[in-house]
C-alpha cells in the first residue's frame, strides 16, 4: 500500500513560479479555388523540415466548394480539406479543437495533445460582408482561445477583389472588426485579445506599375521594387484600422494569379497582374499603464513576444490560381497557467480483460460536475470526441489518499489489440479537456512479453505540463 500511495502522490504538482515557454505556431492561408485537396500536402505543413517543434497549426482556407450539394454534405460530415489535414496531423499527436465554416471560408485549429489542459475559453464566430452583408462568399471567420493564460485570436478573411477596390477592402475589414464578436466575459472583440493573427485572401494588389514591370521584377527577384506600390503596405502607414499590424518582408513571389497546375502567371485574355493577395499579419494588444503611452512603456517586459521564423509561399501546389502562404512563428509566453485543473494517470499495467485503475486529483478552484468524464483515447485521436471508451467520474470514485481519487475502467472496455493510449479528463462545466495523462501502453493479450514497453512510447511520453522546453 505504501508503494501505491507513493505513486499516486506523484500526481500533485508542485506549484512553481511563472516562467516563459516557447510555443511553435504554424499558420497556412490558401485560396483553393473550389478545388479538391492535392494528393500530398505534407510540404505545406512542414512537419518533417520544421526547425522547431510545432505546438499549434492554424489553417485558413478560402473559396471552398460551396455548391449547395457539397455544402450540405460538408455540414454533416467533415469536408475533404478537413479530412486531408486531420489525416496527416492526427497521427503526429495533433488534435482538432476548432473548426468554423462560412460558405467558402474555413478555419481549422489543431493543438499538440499535451497542451489541451492549458487551452481554455475557446470561442468561434463569423460575419458576412458579401452582397450587402447577406452573402458569405466574402467575410471573416475567427477562433479565439486562451493559451497558458494568454488570449490569442485567429481571423481568416476573404476581402473584395479587383485593383480599384482597395478602399472597399479596408471598409470590409473595418466592418469585420466591428461586427465579429465573441460571447464571452473577456475579450469580446477582435482587438481586445493579447495577440491577433489576421490572414487570408486579402486581395490587395500592386498599384501603378504595369504588367511588364511587375513580371520583370519578379523574374529578376527584385521584389523590393514592388513593395511601395503594394496597396496593403501603403495602407498600413496611413489607415487607422491597420494601426499596430505587423507583417514579415515579402521575399516570395506574388501568389496570384497563376495558370492551373503551373508556376506560370495568368496567360488568359485577362492577364491579371501578379499580386501578393494572400497574407499573414499580426497585432499585439496595446498596453498603457499609469498614463504611459505604448512607446514609453516599450522597455517593459512583454507577456508575449512574437518571432517570425518563416514567411513564404509554396509554389509547388497548382490546384488553384493562388499559391498557399505559410507563416511559422515562435511565441514566447509568460506561463500564467502553471498546472492543469485535473491531473490523472493510469496505475499499474493495463491488460485487456482486467479493470484499469485511474488515479486523479483536482485543483482547489476546479468547478467539478456530476457530468465530468474520463475518456480513453488511442494515440493519434482526431478530436476530443474521438475516444475509444469513457466513464463517468463521479459514479464510482474512491478517495485513496488525501485529495487523490481512483476510478476503475471495466476490463471489457479495454481494447483487445492494445497499443499506445492516453487518458483525458473532460469537464462538463468548462466544456473542454482539463487534464491529460502521459502516454502509456496497453499490452495486447497475444503479447509474448507483457512487461516489455515500446521504446517509442518512452520517447514520446511527456508530462502534462505542456512545456516543450523542459518536458
316 and 409, same domain (yes or no): no
243 falls within a domain: yes
What's the confidence (pLDDT) of residue 75?
55
Structural domain of residue 354, as residue ranges?
2-13+340-460
Q: Report the pLDDT averaged over residues 97-119.
A: 96
pLDDT of 11 over the 80 cut: no
Per the structure, the count of domains in the chain is: 2
Tens digit of each residue's pLDDT (9 = 90 or more) over 178-228: 999 998 888 899 999 999 999 999 999 999 999 999 999 999 999 999 999
400 — pLDDT class (breaks 50, 70, 90): confident
HEC secondary structure over 285-306: CCCCCCCCCCCCCCCCCCCEEE
117 falls within a domain: yes
Q: Whole-number mean pLDDT of the chain?
A: 87
Number of other residues whose CB lies within 10 A of the CB of residue 416: 11
121 and 6, same domain (yes or no): no
**7 contacts: CB under 8 Å, gap ≥ 6:** 347, 359
pLDDT of 69 over the 60 cut: no
Number of other residues whose CB lies within 10 A of the CB of residue 284: 18
Q: How many angstroms separate the Cα of 51 from the Cα of each of 36, 43, 47, 48, 443?
A: 29, 14, 9, 9, 35
pLDDT of 292 over the 70 cut: no
414 and 319, same domain (yes or no): no
- Which stretch of DSSP H or E encloses residue 170? helix 166-179
Q: Report the pLDDT averaged over residues 334-340.
A: 93
What's the confidence (pLDDT) of residue 67?
67
User: Contact, 113 vs 176, CB < 8 A?
Assistant: no
d(CA 390, CA 15): 29
- Which stretch of DSSP H or E encloses residue 436? strand 432-436
Tens digit of each residue's pLDDT (9 = 90 or more) over 305-318: 999 999 999 999 99
Residue that finishes a domain, picked among 282, 308, 334: 334
29 and 6, same domain (yes or no): no
465 falls within a domain: no
pLDDT of 101 over the 80 cut: yes
222 falls within a domain: yes
359 and 379, same domain (yes or no): yes
104 falls within a domain: yes
269 and 405, same domain (yes or no): no
Residue that finishes a domain, picked among 334, 357, 372: 334
Tens digit of each residue's pLDDT (9 = 90 or more) over 208-218: 999 999 999 99
What's the confidence (pLDDT) of residue 51?
53
Q: Report the pLDDT averaged over residues 239-259.
A: 98
426 falls within a domain: yes
177 and 318, same domain (yes or no): yes
What's the confidence (pLDDT) of residue 126?
94
Cell of 115: 497542451
What percentage of residues in the chain have a pLDDT greater than 70?
82
What's the confidence (pLDDT) of residue 467?
43
d(CA 441, CA 393): 22
Read off the DSSP letter of residue 11.
T
Q: Report the pLDDT averaged over residues 15-19.
A: 61
215 falls within a domain: yes
The CATH number of whichever domain residue 199 belongs to comes to 3.60.10.10
What's the confidence (pLDDT) of residue 366?
95
Q: How far is CA 93 from the centre of its chain?
A: 13
281 and 366, same domain (yes or no): no
467 falls within a domain: no
d(CA 36, CA 200): 18
96 and 9, same domain (yes or no): no
What's the confidence (pLDDT) of residue 460?
39
Tens digit of each residue's pLDDT (9 = 90 or more) over 407-462: 999 999 999 999 999 999 999 999 999 999 999 999 987 654 444 444 334 333 33
What's the confidence (pLDDT) of residue 462?
38
Phi/psi-derived region of residue 132, left when phi > 0, alpha when psi is between -120 and 50, beta in every other case: left
What's the confidence (pLDDT) of residue 425?
98
The CATH number of whichever domain residue 392 belongs to comes to 2.60.40.2840
pLDDT of 133 over the 50 cut: no
What's the confidence (pLDDT) of residue 50?
52
73 and 162, same domain (yes or no): yes
User: Contact, 188 vs 181, CB < 8 A?
Assistant: yes
328 and 344, same domain (yes or no): no
What's the confidence (pLDDT) of residue 395?
85
Select the more confidently predicted residue: 44 or 397: 44
What's the confidence (pLDDT) of residue 13?
46
Select the more confidently predicted residue: 294 or 207: 207
The HSE-up count of residue 225 (CA atoms within 13 Å, CB side) is 12
Q: Are strands 20-31 and 325-334 parallel, antiparallel or unpaired?
A: antiparallel
Residue that finishes a domain, picked among 280, 307, 334: 334
What's the confidence (pLDDT) of residue 329?
97
Select the more confidently predicted residue: 46 or 405: 405
319 and 379, same domain (yes or no): no
pLDDT of 234 over the 50 cut: yes
What's the confidence (pLDDT) of residue 131?
56
What's the confidence (pLDDT) of residue 449?
47
pTM summary value = 0.89
Amino acid at each position: 500500500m505504501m508503494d501505491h500511495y507513493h505513486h499516486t502522490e506523484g500526481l500533485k504538482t508542485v506549484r512553481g513560479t511563472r516562467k516563459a515557454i516557447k510555443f511553435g505556431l504554424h499558420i497556412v492561408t490558401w485560396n483553393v479555388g473550389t478545388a479538391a485537396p492535392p494528393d500530398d500536402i505534407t510540404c505545406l505543413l512542414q512537419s518533417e523540415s520544421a526547425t522547431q517543434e510545432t505546438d499549434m497549426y492554424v489553417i485558413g482556407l478560402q473559396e471552398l466548394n460551396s455548391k449547395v450539394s457539397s455544402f450540405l454534405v460538408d455540414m454533416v460530415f467533415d469536408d475533404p480539406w478537413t479530412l486531408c489535414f486531420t489525416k496527416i496531423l492526427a497521427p503526429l499527436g495533433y488534435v482538432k479543437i476548432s473548426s468554423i465554416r462560412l460558405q467558402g471560408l474555413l478555419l481549422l485549429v489543431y493543438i499538440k495533445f499535451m497542451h489541451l489542459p492549458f487551452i481554455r475559453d475557446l470561442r468561434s464566430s463569423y460575419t458576412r460582408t458579401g452582397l450587402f452583408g447577406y452573402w458569405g462568399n466574402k467575410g471573416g471567420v475567427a477562433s479565439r482561445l486562451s493559451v497558458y493564460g494568454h488570449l490569442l485570436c485567429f481571423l481568416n478573411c476573404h476581402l473584395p477583389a479587383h485593383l480599384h477596390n482597395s478602399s472597399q477592402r479596408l471598409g470590409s475589414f473595418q466592418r469585420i472588426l466591428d461586427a465579429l464578436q465573441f460571447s464571452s466575459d473577456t475579450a469580446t472583440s477582435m482587438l481586445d485579445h493579447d495577440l491577433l493573427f489576421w490572414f487570408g485572401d486579402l486581395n490587395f494588389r500592386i498599384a501603378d506599375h504595369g504588367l511588364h514591370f511587375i513580371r520583370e521584377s519578379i523574374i529578376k527577384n527584385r521584389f523590393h521594387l514592388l513593395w511601395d506600390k503594394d496597396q496593403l503596405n501603403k495602407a498600413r502607414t496611413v489607415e487607422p484600422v491597420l494601426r499596430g499590424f505587423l507583417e514579415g518582408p515579402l521575399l516570395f513571389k506574388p501568389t496570384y494569379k497563376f495558370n492551373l497546375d503551373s508556376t506560370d502567371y495568368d496567360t488568359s485574355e485577362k492577364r491579371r497582374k501578379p499580386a501578393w493577395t494572400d497574407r499573414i499579419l499580426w497585432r499585439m494588444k496595446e498596453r498603457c499603464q499609469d498614463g504611459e503611452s505604448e512607446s514609453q512603456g516599450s522597455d517593459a517586459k512583454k507577456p508575449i513576444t512574437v518571432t517570425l521564423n518563416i514567411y513564404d509561399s509554396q509554389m509547388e501546389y497548382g490546384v488553384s490560381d493562388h499559391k498557399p502562404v505559410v507563416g511559422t512563428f515562435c511565441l514566447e509566453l509568460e506561463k500564467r497557467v502553471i498546472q492543469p485543473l485535473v491531473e490523472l494517470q493510469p496505475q499499474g499495467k493495463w491488460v485487456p480483460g482486467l479493470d484499469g485503475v485511474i488515479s486523479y486529483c483536482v485543483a482547489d478552484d476546479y468547478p467539478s460536475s456530476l457530468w465530468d468524464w474520463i475518456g480513453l483515447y488511442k494515440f493519434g485521436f482526431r478530436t476530443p470526441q474521438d475516444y475509444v471508451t469513457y466513464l463517468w467520474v463521479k459514479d464510482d470514485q474512491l478517495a485513496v489518499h488525501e485529495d487523490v481519487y481512483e476510478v476503475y475502467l471495466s476490463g471489457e472496455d479495454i481494447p483487445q489489440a492494445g497499443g499506445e493510449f492516453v487518458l483525458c479528463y473532460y469537464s462538463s462545466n468548462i466544456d473542454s479537456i482539463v487534464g491529460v495523462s502521459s502516454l502509456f501502453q496497453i499490452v495486447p493479450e497475444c503479447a509474448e512479453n507483457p512487461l516489455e514497453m515500446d521504446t517509442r512510447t518512452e520517447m514520446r511520453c511527456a508530462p502534462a505540463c505542456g512545456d516543450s522546453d523542459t518536458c
